[in-house]
Copies of this chain bind each other. A is one copy, B any other.
Amino acid sequence: MAVGIGIVGAGTVGGTLVRRLIDEHDALEAKTGLDLEVRRVAVNDVAKERPFTVPDGVLTGRALDLADDPSVDLVVEVMGGTGVAAEVVMGALRAGKPVVTANKELVAARGPELFDAAAASGVSLLFEAAVGGGIPIIRPLWETLAGEQVRRILGIVNGTTNYILTRMSEDGASYADALAAAQRLGYAEPDPSADVSGADATSKAAILAGLAFGTWIETAAVHREGIEGIARADVAFAAELGYVVKLLAVAERTGGGVSARVHPALVPLHHPLAGIRGATNAVFVEGPSVGELLFAGPGAGAGPTATAVLGDVVDAARELLAGAQVAPRIRLAAASGVADFGAIPTKWYVRLEVADRPGVLAAVAAAFGDHGVSIKSVRQEGRGDRATLLVVTHRAAEADQQAAVAAIGNLDVVAEVGAALRVESDEP
């Protein structure tokens, strides 16, 4: 029995998906036993030239009609955004049709509502492509690791920023030059702000936290810092200290609840994430029983993303043919609260521009100590009028770290707090 697929959006990912569903139809059927038929492709402009050919009547401008279209058994949303896309997805779920989406923004923004709609209809809402592109991470989290009390997830989930930081680290490039290179190569948009500000990664951090901990964190509640302020000097100093700077999405369960945050961080060179270079993405999962898992691969691009969407389509089609009410894969537990950001324990790297004279270190150390932050290592670079002090602290509450650094910035002997970045490592 053929399964009728309705696809909303035919941009880079949608176009590739339609082409593969048509060109690889027989190979897919041989491999999966499923006869997947493209029945509708909803686009803004039906007259525009496309990289695929579909029979008359398949292209349509009426995305919202797919929910009630009897030829469509399963809806794929690859148009993006949280406007029409939300209506399309909700409409299909309410009409009892499984939905596959690659839309991280939509899932992060309206996850609980969408899951409820899917559960009410007994159909699946699948979104493997929403985090990590072609890397299987959604399904491992909610299936293979269903029985694991995941403790922490560290993700490099934005290829643009990882490419920029890799250039800064490996070529000694400045942020501006590395960004320009990323734009030349098509890794960064002409307006790169969604990537470099960490905004793209916050949606993914929220989704990872939701799946791992069953607590949905609003995207706006994800603490966010971008990489725009990263100085070449700190990337070089980090390397001297045995670290590499990465933009991390962190989803964590601590005593105070669960949390999600996105910020640049120093990662020890021996950590598996330190070796993730260029536009590659990776997700590192820690759990008490399973230990440490690393998933790495292409985090974006039409090919990998279409593969992830296709995997979800195959899965949803199998379920459809089984003809059952699908049990929800995710249960949001209202019980686990969101941690107070100020209470989350982190380690910090602080670069201070100081006067090189006796008593400077004592004053800095006292200021850290006054706020309950203990110092792991200190290193002085340069001598004379102005020296640079590199401090790495032990773990302490975020609020205490911030207060300590603010106090240090006010010390007479400190000319400037050049940088204050978190350090993510297993040591206390």
Contact = CB atoms under 8 A, between A and B. Distances in A.
A298 B307 CA distance: 26
A111 interface: no
A374 B329 CA distance: 54
Nearest to A287: B307
B321 A327 contact: yes
B287 A291 contact: no
Contact of A146 (B20, B31, B292): B31
Contacts of A312: 144
Contacts of A325: 322-323
Interface string A3-31: 00000000000000000100010011011
A335 interface: yes
B294 A295 contact: yes
A315 B288 CA distance: 21
A46 to B, nearest CB: 26
A146 B33 CA distance: 11
A112 to B, nearest CB: 15
Interface stretch (A51-59, A70-78, A134-142, A364-372): A134-142
A322 B326 contact: yes
A396 to B, nearest CB: 29
A31 B333 contact: yes
A293 B135 contact: yes
B33 A328 contact: yes
Contacts of A24: 147, 149
A369 B428 CA distance: 59
A145 B136 contact: yes
Which one of A148, A298, A303, A318 has the highest number of Cβ atoms from chain B below 10 Å of its Cβ? A148
Q: How many copies does the complex hold?
A: 2
Contacts of A27: 149
> How many interface residues does chain A have, given as a range?
35 or more
A111 B382 CA distance: 66
A52 B158 CA distance: 44
A314 interface: yes
A144 B314 CA distance: 9
A311 B143 contact: yes
A32 interface: yes
Contacts of A328: 33
A290 B275 contact: no
B297 A296 contact: no
A307 B290 contact: yes
A312 B146 CA distance: 9
Given A318-B327, A322-B325, A323-B325, 14 more contacts: A27-B149, A30-B331, A31-B331, A128-B144, A136-B136, A136-B143, A136-B144, A139-B143, A144-B311, A148-B307, A272-B296, A289-B307, A293-B296, A319-B327
Can you list the 4 inter-chain pairs with the closest CB atoms, starting with the nearest?
A: A147-B310, A324-B324, A136-B140, A136-B144
Interface of A: 20, 24, 27-28, 30-33, 128, 134-136, 139-140, 143-149, 214, 272, 275, 282, 287-298, 301, 303-304, 306-308, 310-315, 318-319, 321-329, 331, 333, 335
